[in-house]
Amino acid sequence: GDSVTQMEGPVTLSEEAFLTINCTYTATGYPSLFWYVQYPGEGLQLLLKATKADDKGSNKGFEATYRKETTSFHLEKGSVQVSDSAVYFCALERGADGLTFGKGTHLIIQP
Amino acid sequence: DAGVIQSPRHEVTEMGQEVTLRCKPISGHNSLFWYRQTMMRGLELLIYFNNNVPIDDSGMPEDRFSAKMPNASFSTLKIQPSEPRDSAVYFCASSSGGDSPLHFGNGTRLTVT
């Protein structure tokens, strides 16, 4: 079945550091790929998405490129802020069956 | 747009009691999803509805769990009887289908003692 694997957290960085959160997936066909962010006490919010190979999703300084050859969708940001502290979920969607999520990566940004 | 509304935000109950979680999707959205979030398993899809009809309930863990969507603006997830291992945060999400993203509610934190 479909699955998403994310790097284990927590990831702790200093403000203005470069961020990479790895995500790889297993799925048949050509899923759409997503990153969701969850702030404390809240539900998940869509951060960015890509629907086909080589697409780059971007939002709020975050980027991720759909790499079909490596089945990856790594999340990157050039300079993180304390306000980026949250849990980040990589997810895939194949057809209309809803999203399959990774387990989430807790990101902690220290001032 | 009020977003997806879930109630209650917190529920504490004793083992064996019935628990009902409620969700109001965003108006106009025709797909509704129930997820459970735990530290051990992350986010698990329990069931989803399309146009009020349950499409896939293969994620519902046991017969103790049931979900209904009597109309386009309301859904319930019921656990009867509840057990301590049901303790988790339960999220409801809705979307308008196609390429539109899921919109999540703020979740219901359930504690079964």
Write the residue in B43, B55, B93 that is nearest to A89 by C-beta.
Answer: B43
Residues of B in contact with A102 (CB under 8 A): 42
Q: How far apart are CA A49 and CA A59, in angstroms?
A: 9
pLDDT by residue for chain B (113 residues), tens digit each? 679 999 999 999 999 999 999 999 999 999 999 999 988 888 888 999 999 999 988 889 889 999 999 999 999 999 999 999 999 999 999 998 776 788 999 999 999 99
Within an 8 Å CB–CB cutoff, is residue A102 touching chain B?
Answer: yes
- Which residues on chain A are in Cβ contact (under 8 Å) with B48? 97-98
- Copy the structure tokens of residue A44: 């998940």
Tell whether the model's pLDDT for residue A95 goes beyond 70. Answer: no
Instruction: Provide the pairing of β-strand A19-21 with A44-50.
Output: unpaired
C-beta neighbour count of A83 within 10 angstroms: 10
For chain B, say whether A85 makes contact (Cβ under 8 Å). no
Contact B112, B10 (CB under 8 A): no
- Residues of chain A with Cβ-Cβ distance to B42 below 8 Å are 89, 101-104
Q: Which residues of B touch A5 (CB under 8 A)?
A: none
Cβ contact, residue pair B104, A43, below 8 Å? yes
- A57 shares contact with chain B (CB less than 8 Å): no
- Give A69-90 pLDDT, tens digit per residue: 999 999 999 999 999 999 999 9
Partner-chain residue, chosen from B97, B101, B107, that has the shortest CB–CB distance to A43: B107
Among A30, A42, A99, A100, the residue to mutate for chain B (most B Cβ within 10 A)? A99
Which two structure tokens, joined as six digits, stand for A78?
A: 């050039």
How many other β-carbons are positioned within 10 Å of the β-carbon of residue B47?
23
Q: How many CB atoms lie within 10 A of CB A101?
A: 22
Cβ atoms of B67 and B53 within 8 Å: the answer is no
Please give the pLDDT value at position B36: 95
A31 contact B CB<8A:
no
- Count, residues in chain B: 113
Residue A89 sits at the chain B interface (C-beta within 8 Å): yes
Name residue, tokens 């699955």. Answer: A3
Task: Give the minimum alpha-carbon distance from B30 to chain A in angstroms, rounded to a whole number.
Answer: 12
Report the SS3 class of residue A83.
helix
Segment holding B37, helix H or strand E: strand B31-38
Task: Identify which of A34, A43, A101 has the shortest CB distance to residue B106.
Answer: A43
Full DSSP string of B9-35: SEEEE-TT--EEEEEEPPTT--EEEEE
SS3 content of chain A, % helix, strand, coil (to 5): 5, 55, 45
pLDDT band at A4 (very low <50, low <70, confident <90, very high): very high
Residue showing tokens 């656990």: B79
The amino acid at A48: L
- Greater model confidence, A64 or A41: A64
